[in-house]
Structure 1
Amino acid sequence: MSTEEAEKKVEAEEKAGELLFCGATCWDIVGRKRSTGDTNLVSPTRLRPLVGVDIRFVASGCSSCHCVALDKGQLGHGDTIQRDRPTVVSELKKYKIVKAGSGRNHTVVVTEDGNSLAFGWNKHGQLGSGSVRNEIEASPVRCLVSEVKTTACGADFTVWLTSVEGASILTAGLPQYGQLGHGTDNEYNTKDSSVRLAYEAQPRPKAIASLSGETIVKVACGANHTVAVDSNGYVYTWGFGGYGRLGHREQKDEWAPRRVDIFQRNNVLPPDAVVSAGSVNSACTAGGGQLYMWGKIKNTGDDWMYPKPLMDLSGWNIRCMDSGSMHHFVGADSSCISWGHAQYGELGYGPLGQKSSAVPKKVDILEGMHVIG
């Protein structure tokens, strides 16, 4: 690759744009049977504090109650005050942040020089700081990892991908369901009861031994499971197995990475594959860009116990995808497409559009826009 081509590639990777948001805007009303319409954005909408700000990356998650938006390397706040407006994290101003992940109540960021910092809830060691002395870290603390390329968060655990040979993937946090991938769930009986179970916190990031011979290049986390892809295009899943979200034709929890048999031989994932994990499902694009999904896909009907092609999107050039609890978004060609079960307008169909959709539908207000993931 020539210098000019390399520069163009970097420039393409650094594309930025305006942030549009739809769905619930107030955490306090999420989960209630009724909510006032003016707290929900049913159409993709610009957030006033970010108008005119070029956003390169947004991190949220299927179990997150917060979002992280990265502009030109500047984004926590040293307190526990709830913020309903985007606010710069002042202690991160001195770093150029290139990637971020968000769990249920914690945030992890990656700096340009390969370091990682985290803040938020740390009861299970999900910040990877090596300590659970403080249950909440209100300001960023250093994660005990190096040469970090990217990060992803489950509800109460964190995954880091690094360029360290033999340790390309590390995890820390809550080991319940085996979601850390180390072959155990670290379950034990508490001292005050022989029947009350707890899980030993894992505050120090640890490389997944069974993947030490592989180079993991992509990762996505659901609330309690992980999907990873190695440099050969093989797919691995582990953690909570309910609803078939691991793709192994059964609902058994996997305490260590297990290869998904469908994505082998002539159907390995290409280098530009898209990988996504929702709360109760998983997805990726394989040969020819075909989107496969597995797990609980709809509120009704059978669960998909193994990866199946989503034929509604066959032929589309899918560039990015993200999933919430039971809804999904993809950026494909010059369209943004969404589907699933929604309660707060998160599919973006507008005030006159349907609230939910069992099949993928274009988000009309975004038609013709190049949505980046």
Structure 2
Amino acid sequence: MTDSAAAPDQTEKEKWGRVLLCGGTNWLALGKKGLPADPEYPDLPLPHTLRSLSNVKATGVYTSHSGCHVIVLDVAGAAYLFGRNTSSCLGVPHTSRPFISQYTPLRLLPTDVGAAPGTKFVYAACGRAHSVLVGDEGSVWTAGLNAHGQCGHPAGGEMGTWKLITGGWARAKVGEKAVQASAGVNFTLVLTENGKVYAFGSGEHGQLANGRTGERIAQANKTTYDIEDEPIPVRGPLEDKVTTQVACGQQHAIALTSDGLVYVWGFNGYCRLGLGHPKDMLIPTLVPQYAGPNVLMRAAFVAAGPTSTIVIDRQKMLQMAGKFKTSGAGSVGQPFSTFRYFPEIQGCKVLLAAAGGVTHFATAVDEDAGPGGVMTIAWGQNAINSELGLGEGQPKSTPKPVRMETLNGIDVFALAAGQNTSFFLARPNEALLDLPRFPDAVPAPNLCVVCNEDREASGEEALECEKCDTPYHLGCLDPPLKSIPEGQWFCPKCANEFEDVLPLPGAKKSAGLPKADEEPKKKGRLAKRKAEDEEGDGGGGEAKKAKVAKK
């Protein structure tokens, strides 16, 4: 699992952004050898703005370090799903839809899964072949592979539709509200508003934290293990603690408490739990490294990869345990048996991190960029689909953390690292408009769709929609615009495309007028040329403006 890793200190800034991606996009071929490349679904060597969601104000992006599907949530509480539909993990039968294209994501509303009107999706999680959605009223829905009960329903087969979990915290006598979830390969964790953790799925390596695996010999001398398809509370040392964050690796888990303590459990191959030994832990076990009297040395953020675990302490220093390389320190023969710093980023004030199939990302304070500046850091080996996003002609892999020059100036506030694809949420700013869009081009008219005239000779150029590239003359809009709007501009159709998900009880419907999006001023492609001309004439320049249609 890599759930969306979101920066904790966003109170001063917008909490929504645009979806960026890099790496593999041919969902059915990812991770499989010998399949031919498909030019319609290329590998992206640098981050691109996902055009199909370019008009969506995204608040979260979620994927799995061991899977190839994605869930995006927006400010209105809708979900957008795409990627490989393994075992129906996207909530539709995989026999009819083996994948959902990023060009046409599936939009899912809470009411589509039986929630009351006004409910919003506020969190999600992705396992290898199952998915989780969390509603703002505390409900949890799951879909996908349920062979070990990892969907919180009677174990067996797969679930081709989203189904509400009614056990565990959801029981009336418990009355707790789910706020967060995390998913491994065959187990799931849910965190409640009261700071309690529930687990369900396979207990093969102690992932359920209930003190046992249930290992036994079944028929035909096959070994079997306990499964829990009814969510059970994680007890032991965590029972009296308030947990604030959970994260799952393939078969291990990590939890962060309100007092900055770190607890780990589950499979401990390659010492991924950071306890100094490779023994599996069947109950939550305190990591001594973060339990000292100095509160600055305690933890502020946790994440988990397939074979590694990440902690960011309160000094904003990133440390890692387990295996995350193919050679040298941190590899199979020399895993980090305890949490260790990276010398390359020891001086960075790290904000958040995420781990994918072979990739690792972090954001850190960029002091050179001024107040609020953020830089994005990446590292990992064997990233064969360019999922590190270091750029065209640049190495696909790097064993040491490096700055992502391709995201210079981009205000990234959420990370989601998948098996072969990486995702980012970035707040709108001037630099974001200069990123390439994916796909680069879509079919669109050459002339204004209202008048069907070419007025360039008379000095009237046409605006081009940021999403669909459809051109409009300023005067042909209703109401007409007097000047090119600053920032991104969406045509009436794209501006109102998802309006049906926005109204809540008592809310007023948007007039849907074509205008610049509600975001910080940023520069578009035409205004860049204008600004350069003005600077050449001694002018001071101005904020770049929305794109003008190309003929």
Identify whether the pair has TM-score above 0.5, normalized to the shorter chain: yes
SS at match of 2:315: helix
Q: For 1:231-286, what per-residue CA distance to the aligned partner results, in whole angstroms no more than 9, with x for missing partners?
A: 22111111111111011111111111111111111455779822111100011111
2:412 paired residue number: 371
SS at match of 1:42: strand
1:6 paired residue number: none
Q: For 1:131-177, what per-residue CA distance to the aligned partner results, in whole angstroms no more than 9, with x for missing partners?
A: 22x5211111112334112111111111011134xx70110011111
1:180 pairs with 2:221: no
Distance 2:108 2:377 in 1: 32
Distance 1:271 1:142 in 2: 36
Retained in 1: the 8 A contact 2:292–2:298? no
Retained in 1: the 8 A contact 2:68–2:128? yes
2:44 paired residue number: 41
Kindly provide the amino acid, as one letter, of the partner of residue 355 in structure 1: K
Quick one: which of 220, 226, 229 aligns to 2:247?
220
Quick one: which of 198, 202, 205 aligns to 2:231?
205
Retained in 2: the 8 A contact 1:171–1:206? yes
Distance 1:156 1:41 in 2: 30
Distance 2:356 2:320 in 1: 14
Distance 2:225 2:303 in 1: 27
1:311 pairs with 2:335: no
Kindly provide the amino acid, as one letter, of the partner of residue 215 in structure 2: E
Aligned 1:22-41 pairs, distance under 5 A: 22-33=22-33, 36=37, 38=39, 39-41=42-44
The structural deviation recorded for 1:27 is: 2.9
Distance 1:163 1:223 in 2: 25
Kindly provide the amino acid, as one letter, of the partner of residue 123 in structure 1: A
Query: Which is bigger in relative contact order (C-alpha 8 A, separation at least 6)?
Result: 2
SS at match of 2:205: helix
1:83 paired residue number: 100
Distance 1:13 1:176 in 2: 43
Distance 1:184 1:49 in 2: 46
SS at match of 1:218: strand
Distance 2:14 2:224 in 1: 43
The structural deviation recorded for 1:314 is: 2.0
SS at match of 2:321: strand
Distance 1:303 1:312 in 2: 18
Aligned 1:240-251 pairs, distance under 5 A: 240-251=267-278
The structural deviation recorded for 1:364 is: 1.4
2:492 paired residue number: none
Kindly provide the amino acid, as one letter, of the partner of residue 18 in structure 1: R
Retained in 2: the 8 A contact 1:348–1:363? yes
- Radius of gyration: which is bigger? 2
Distance 2:65 2:186 in 1: 12
SS at match of 1:274: strand
**Paired positions, count:** 359
Distance 2:63 2:315 in 1: 28
Quick one: which of 247, 257, 264 aligns to 2:291?
264
SS at match of 1:177: coil
1:337 paired residue number: 377
Question: Where in structure 1 do 4 or more consecutive aligned residues deviate above 6 Å?
Answer: 269-272
Retained in 2: the 8 A contact 1:119–1:139? yes
The structural deviation recorded for 1:13 is: 7.9
Retained in 2: the 8 A contact 1:14–1:56? no
Distance 2:54 2:123 in 1: 21
The structural deviation recorded for 1:215 is: 1.2
Distance 1:268 1:65, change over 3 A: farther
Retained in 2: the 8 A contact 1:268–1:286? no
Retained in 1: the 8 A contact 2:272–2:337? yes
Kindly provide the amino acid, as one letter, of the partner of residue 255 in structure 2: A
Retained in 1: the 8 A contact 2:261–2:299? no
Retained in 2: the 8 A contact 1:321–1:330? yes
Kindly provide the amino acid, as one letter, of the partner of residue 72 in structure 2: A
Retained in 2: the 8 A contact 1:17–1:56? yes
Retained in 1: the 8 A contact 2:299–2:311? no
Runs of at least 5 residues in structure 2 that lack an aligned partner in the other structure: 1-8, 80-89, 170-175, 329-333, 366-373, 415-551
SS at match of 1:212: helix
The structural deviation recorded for 1:348 is: 0.3
Distance 2:327 2:71 in 1: 32
TM-score (norm 2): 0.62
Distance 2:137 2:305 in 1: 30
Retained in 2: the 8 A contact 1:331–1:370? no
1:74 paired residue number: 78
Q: For 1:190-227, what per-residue CA distance to the aligned partner results, in whole angstroms no more than 9, with x for missing partners?
A: 22x12x11223211110012021111111111111001
Distance 1:142 1:272 in 2: 33
Kindly provide the amino acid, as one letter, of the partner of residue 274 in structure 2: G
Distance 2:38 2:378 in 1: 21
SS at match of 1:124: coil
Retained in 1: the 8 A contact 2:262–2:299? no
TM-score (norm 1): 0.90
Runs of at least 5 residues in structure 1 that lack an aligned partner in the other structure: 1-8
2:180 paired residue number: 150
1:190 paired residue number: 218
1:281 pairs with 2:308: yes
